[in-house]
Amino acid sequence: MQLLHELSRLSTRFDEANLVSCSGLVPVMALAESCGLSELVASTVTVPGPAGANASVKVPALVAGMVAGADCIDDMDLLRHGGMGRLFGGVRAPSTLGTFLRAFTFGHVRQLDAVATTVLAGWPNAARCWAGRPRSPSSTSTTPSSRPTATPSRAPATATAG
Protein backbone atom coordinates (compact mmCIF):
# COMPACT_ATOMS: atom_id res chain seq x y z
CA MET A 1 0.00 0.00 0.00
CA GLN A 2 1.28 3.45 -0.87
CA LEU A 3 0.16 6.93 0.12
CA LEU A 4 -1.00 8.73 -3.03
CA HIS A 5 -0.58 12.29 -1.75
CA GLU A 6 2.15 14.26 -0.09
CA LEU A 7 1.44 14.90 3.58
CA SER A 8 1.98 18.62 3.10
CA ARG A 9 -0.99 18.70 0.69
CA LEU A 10 -3.40 16.87 2.97
CA SER A 11 -5.70 18.54 5.43
CA THR A 12 -8.07 16.92 7.86
CA ARG A 13 -11.06 18.47 9.54
CA PHE A 14 -13.35 16.93 12.10
CA ASP A 15 -16.18 19.41 12.20
CA GLU A 16 -19.18 17.11 12.26
CA ALA A 17 -21.44 18.23 15.12
CA ASN A 18 -22.65 14.67 15.73
CA LEU A 19 -19.23 13.02 15.78
CA VAL A 20 -18.49 11.23 19.06
CA SER A 21 -14.90 10.11 19.33
CA CYS A 22 -15.22 8.51 22.77
CA SER A 23 -18.58 6.76 22.76
CA GLY A 24 -17.17 4.08 25.05
CA LEU A 25 -17.44 6.64 27.86
CA VAL A 26 -21.21 6.23 27.95
CA PRO A 27 -21.30 2.83 29.68
CA VAL A 28 -18.30 3.67 31.88
CA MET A 29 -19.83 6.90 33.17
CA ALA A 30 -23.27 5.31 33.52
CA LEU A 31 -21.69 2.62 35.67
CA ALA A 32 -19.84 5.23 37.74
CA GLU A 33 -23.06 7.16 38.29
CA SER A 34 -24.99 4.02 39.22
CA CYS A 35 -22.33 3.49 41.91
CA GLY A 36 -23.03 6.99 43.23
CA LEU A 37 -19.87 8.79 42.12
CA SER A 38 -21.38 12.30 42.11
CA GLU A 39 -23.17 11.84 45.43
CA LEU A 40 -20.03 10.47 47.10
CA VAL A 41 -17.95 13.38 45.82
CA ALA A 42 -20.57 15.87 47.02
CA SER A 43 -20.58 14.36 50.51
CA THR A 44 -16.84 13.67 50.83
CA VAL A 45 -14.69 16.12 48.86
CA THR A 46 -14.44 19.57 50.50
CA VAL A 47 -12.19 21.80 48.40
CA PRO A 48 -12.61 25.34 49.81
CA GLY A 49 -13.24 28.51 47.85
CA PRO A 50 -14.57 29.08 44.37
CA ALA A 51 -12.24 26.45 42.90
CA GLY A 52 -14.05 23.76 44.90
CA ALA A 53 -17.53 24.69 43.70
CA ASN A 54 -19.39 21.87 41.92
CA ALA A 55 -16.84 19.20 42.78
CA SER A 56 -19.54 16.60 42.10
CA VAL A 57 -19.51 17.70 38.45
CA LYS A 58 -15.78 18.31 38.05
CA VAL A 59 -14.56 14.96 39.40
CA PRO A 60 -16.70 12.86 37.02
CA ALA A 61 -15.48 15.07 34.15
CA LEU A 62 -11.89 14.37 35.19
CA VAL A 63 -12.62 10.64 35.42
CA ALA A 64 -14.20 10.67 31.95
CA GLY A 65 -11.22 12.53 30.51
CA MET A 66 -8.75 10.09 32.02
CA VAL A 67 -10.74 7.10 30.74
CA ALA A 68 -10.77 8.71 27.28
CA GLY A 69 -6.99 9.07 27.36
CA ALA A 70 -6.42 12.64 28.51
CA ASP A 71 -3.00 12.86 30.12
CA CYS A 72 -2.83 16.60 30.74
CA ILE A 73 -5.26 19.40 31.53
CA ASP A 74 -5.39 20.61 27.92
CA ASP A 75 -6.44 17.13 26.78
CA MET A 76 -9.60 17.43 28.87
CA ASP A 77 -10.98 19.51 26.00
CA LEU A 78 -11.71 16.26 24.15
CA LEU A 79 -14.89 16.04 26.23
CA ARG A 80 -16.20 19.19 24.56
CA HIS A 81 -15.75 18.26 20.90
CA GLY A 82 -18.34 17.16 18.38
CA GLY A 83 -21.43 15.48 19.76
CA MET A 84 -20.05 14.90 23.26
CA GLY A 85 -22.29 17.69 24.57
CA ARG A 86 -25.32 15.64 23.51
CA LEU A 87 -24.13 12.71 25.61
CA PHE A 88 -22.76 14.44 28.70
CA GLY A 89 -23.80 17.47 30.68
CA GLY A 90 -21.74 19.53 33.08
CA VAL A 91 -18.45 19.24 31.22
CA ARG A 92 -16.18 22.03 32.37
CA ALA A 93 -13.43 23.84 30.48
CA PRO A 94 -9.91 22.47 30.93
CA SER A 95 -8.84 25.67 32.69
CA THR A 96 -11.65 25.26 35.22
CA LEU A 97 -10.63 21.66 35.90
CA GLY A 98 -7.00 22.73 36.24
CA THR A 99 -7.92 25.41 38.78
CA PHE A 100 -9.91 22.80 40.70
CA LEU A 101 -6.97 20.37 40.78
CA ARG A 102 -4.46 23.04 41.79
CA ALA A 103 -6.57 23.80 44.88
CA PHE A 104 -6.04 20.25 46.17
CA THR A 105 -4.00 19.47 49.24
CA PHE A 106 -2.90 16.05 50.44
CA GLY A 107 -6.09 15.84 52.50
CA HIS A 108 -8.22 16.34 49.40
CA VAL A 109 -6.34 13.57 47.65
CA ARG A 110 -7.19 11.30 50.59
CA GLN A 111 -10.85 12.32 50.24
CA LEU A 112 -10.78 11.34 46.56
CA ASP A 113 -9.11 8.08 47.52
CA ALA A 114 -12.02 7.32 49.86
CA VAL A 115 -14.48 8.09 47.06
CA ALA A 116 -12.59 5.87 44.61
CA THR A 117 -12.52 2.99 47.09
CA THR A 118 -16.27 3.19 47.67
CA VAL A 119 -17.11 3.52 43.98
CA LEU A 120 -14.87 0.63 42.97
CA ALA A 121 -16.36 -1.55 45.71
CA GLY A 122 -19.82 -0.85 44.27
CA TRP A 123 -18.98 -1.76 40.67
CA PRO A 124 -19.64 -5.52 40.96
CA ASN A 125 -23.17 -4.99 42.26
CA ALA A 126 -23.89 -2.31 39.68
CA ALA A 127 -22.54 -4.51 36.89
CA ARG A 128 -24.73 -7.42 38.05
CA CYS A 129 -27.72 -5.12 37.99
CA TRP A 130 -26.92 -4.22 34.39
CA ALA A 131 -26.76 -7.90 33.54
CA GLY A 132 -30.35 -8.28 34.76
CA ARG A 133 -29.49 -9.88 38.06
CA PRO A 134 -30.56 -8.57 41.46
CA ARG A 135 -28.09 -6.54 43.52
CA SER A 136 -28.41 -8.70 46.63
CA PRO A 137 -25.28 -10.52 47.86
CA SER A 138 -27.11 -13.83 47.53
CA SER A 139 -27.09 -13.36 43.75
CA THR A 140 -23.37 -14.15 43.70
CA SER A 141 -24.02 -17.82 44.34
CA THR A 142 -24.56 -19.97 41.29
CA THR A 143 -27.75 -21.96 41.34
CA PRO A 144 -28.69 -24.54 38.72
CA SER A 145 -31.27 -22.17 37.23
CA SER A 146 -28.78 -19.30 36.88
CA ARG A 147 -25.92 -21.30 35.40
CA PRO A 148 -25.32 -20.78 31.70
CA THR A 149 -26.23 -23.79 29.64
CA ALA A 150 -24.32 -25.04 26.66
CA THR A 151 -26.09 -25.37 23.36
CA PRO A 152 -25.71 -28.89 22.04
CA SER A 153 -23.64 -29.22 18.92
CA ARG A 154 -25.50 -29.90 15.70
CA ALA A 155 -22.59 -31.93 14.35
CA PRO A 156 -23.24 -35.66 14.12
CA ALA A 157 -21.71 -37.76 16.85
CA THR A 158 -18.80 -39.88 15.72
CA ALA A 159 -17.75 -43.09 17.31
CA THR A 160 -14.18 -43.40 18.36
CA ALA A 161 -12.29 -46.63 18.48
CA GLY A 162 -11.29 -47.39 21.99
Domain extent listing, the chain? 16-132
Predicted local confidence at residue 57, as pLDDT: 94
pTM recorded for the entire structure? 0.69
Q: Within 10 A of 60 (CB to CB), how many other CB atoms are there?
A: 19
Predicted local confidence at residue 153, as pLDDT: 41
At 62-119, the pLDDT tens digits run 999 999 999 999 999 988 888 888 888 888 999 999 999 999 999 999 999 999 999 9
For residues 69 and 8, give the distance between their C-alpha atoms in angstroms, rounded to a whole number. 28
